[in-house]
A and B are shown apart, each in its own frame.
Chain A
């Protein structure tokens, strides 16, 4: 069973979000990393890039395939996890902590209300996975 921490928010595209004031840390969920398998490549945006909710934020690639990462929130990239470029397997090992991908400065913090809670994401996985 996938690990789904209670203090985070989730998207239906299997990203997790940790909201901290006007900023949000984004990564992919334990379910996502497990479905992808061994992650061997990560492409992250540049600091300063701006995105609308639903845009492609980056790409993670497993041995078998490439998958887009979508941002569930609008905002500007203020930090990226450069460590992932050399050690993408960290996402498999620790998706919620060391495997974080980007920090966004939110342009519309009200969008956070559209995200799923732990319980809602759990239910979504049960119905769709």
Chain B
């Protein structure tokens, strides 16, 4: 664990006896009491995550919108001040550099929240593609990020803020004070549940963390680690960069066509993506459910009658669904619901069937 970065909550995790692991260059809590317990707490009540490893880049200056429109695939002109949007950022060939959240802060300022492992790459890419008086700066050291996720998130958070939380719609945000701490309060998340992400100054992170946990205790709010975050996002079929997305994988393959806006004007990768769209993708991202006993894992081959037709991007036991599931890229002819394929687990092809995505969808 040498040379790993630590979040402002490192000592809090240690005190909670969290198991720490390396993730994207950071020493992060993978679990506290257990992944399944934490997973279920988020589905049934709420869990508090430290995701301060995420990178924050501030892009600002006159013409910032035009620069961004060229850099990402989604249509940023559609988000007013106070709104957020999810978008891939791709290379000329359409391969995904990163997937990120963009907040419109107003006054030609946009906050880009990027994956920790891609932050430096993203920053360099952005700098190489700036124009005019637009600047980009790495603000990651200025932000801690806490995520309160679960059906009780609003009810719990409302006890420690005078903001009217129900007025903050999904993928909207506002500036406000929570537990006496200035925060950017965003109704977003990565678990498939309702919830909020709270950006605050690193020095206030511990106070905010304790305030949320103390207030949430009577409602059964627990700290939750990256292990549960991964199983939760997996059940909701939210892509993880490095698994479902990479520089070799374009957003159309990943089923993210809804984030690629061909009619918004020119953007990097548009031509390549348009060609891929016309010709059809080489592979499609599908959900698979094991028919035979076994747990699929990242990288396991997917076969049809012994012929390789794809690979598993993420596989796991899914705690909410009590099933062994996988996300996998397969050739288009094998992507139809009900198709029976084999996943090669320790040398044996074990039966799995294509099932609908997402595996889990919350009741609104």
Judge whether A37 and B227 touch: CB under 8 Å.
yes
In the complex, residue of chain A having the shortest beta-carbon distance to the beta carbon of B324: A41
Q: A37-B19, A40-B317, A41-B294 are in contact. Are A63 and B346 (CB under 8 A)?
A: no
Check B34 for interface membership: any CB of A closer than 8 A: yes
Does B316 lie at the interface of the complex (its beta carbon under 8 Å from any beta carbon of A)? yes
A37-B31, A38-B35, A38-B36 known; A64 vs B227 contact (CB < 8 Å): yes
Whether A108 is near chain B, meaning CB under 8 Å from some CB there, is: no
Q: In the complex, what residues of A have CB within 8 A of residue B231's CB?
A: 63
B318-347 contact mask (Cβ, 8 Å, vs A): 1 or 0:
010000100000000000000000000010
Q: Are A41 and B295 in contact (CB under 8 A)?
A: yes
| Contact partner, B293, options A65, A66, A85, Cβ 8 Å | A85
Given contacts A40-B317, A41-B324, contact A63 B36 (CB under 8 A): yes
Determine which of A41, A61, A64 lies in contact with B35 in the assembled complex, contact meaning CB atoms within 8 Å. A64
Bound CA span A61–B317, Å? 9
A59 touches B346 (CB 8 A): yes
Within 8 A of B (CB), among A82-104: 85
**Chain B contacts with A in 216-236, Cβ cutoff 8 A:** 227, 231
Taking a contact as CB atoms closer than 8 A, the residue among B30, B293, B319 that contacts A64 in the complex is: B30
CB distance from B252 to the nearest CB of A (A): 30
Q: Which A residues lie within 8 Å of B19 (CB)?
A: 37
- A43 to B293 alpha-carbon distance, docked (Å): 9
For A59, list chain B residues within 8 Å (CB).
Answer: 346
A127 vs chain B, min Cβ distance (A): 18
Q: Which of A35-84 contact B (CB under 8 A)?
A: 37-38, 40-41, 43, 59, 61-66
Q: How far is the CB of B22 from chain A (nearest CB, A)?
A: 13
State the interface size on chain B (CB cutoff 8 A).
Answer: 17
Assembly CA distance A34 to B34 (angstroms): 10
Determine the residue in chain A with the shortest Cβ distance to B31.
Answer: A37
Complex formed: what's the CA distance from A66 to B30 in Å? 16
8 A Cβ contacts from B15-49 to A: 19, 30-31, 34-36
Complexed CA–CA distance, A37 and B39 (Å) = 13
Separation of A41 and B316 alpha carbons in the complex (Å) = 10
Task: State how many angstroms separate the Cβ of B56 from the closest Cβ of chain A.
Answer: 28
Interface residues of B in 282-306 (CB under 8 A from A): 293-295, 297
- Decide if A37 touches B35 in the complex (CB within 8 Å): yes
Partner of B316, one of A37, A43, A63, A85: A63
Q: How far is the CB of B347 from chain A (nearest CB, A)?
A: 12
- Please name all residues of chain B whose beta carbon is closer than 8 Å to the beta carbon of A37 when the two chains form the complex: 19, 31, 34-35, 227
Q: Which residues of B contact A43 (CB under 8 A)?
A: 293-294, 346
- Render B227-258 as a binary contact track against A, CB cut-off 8 A, 1 for contact: 10001000000000000000000000000000
| CB-CB under 8 A for A63 and B297, given A37-B31, A38-B36 | no
Instruction: Given contact pairs A38-B34, A41-B295, enumerate 20 new A-B contacts (beta carbons under 8 Å).
Output: A37-B19, A37-B34, A37-B227, A38-B35, A38-B36, A40-B36, A41-B294, A41-B324, A43-B294, A43-B346, A61-B295, A61-B317, A62-B35, A63-B231, A63-B317, A63-B319, A64-B30, A64-B35, A65-B297, A66-B297
The list of the 5 closest CB pairs from A to B, nearest first, reads: A40-B317, A63-B35, A38-B36, A41-B295, A61-B295
A-B contacts, 8 of them at CB < 8 A, read: A37-B35, A41-B295, A61-B295, A63-B231, A63-B316, A63-B317, A64-B30, A64-B35
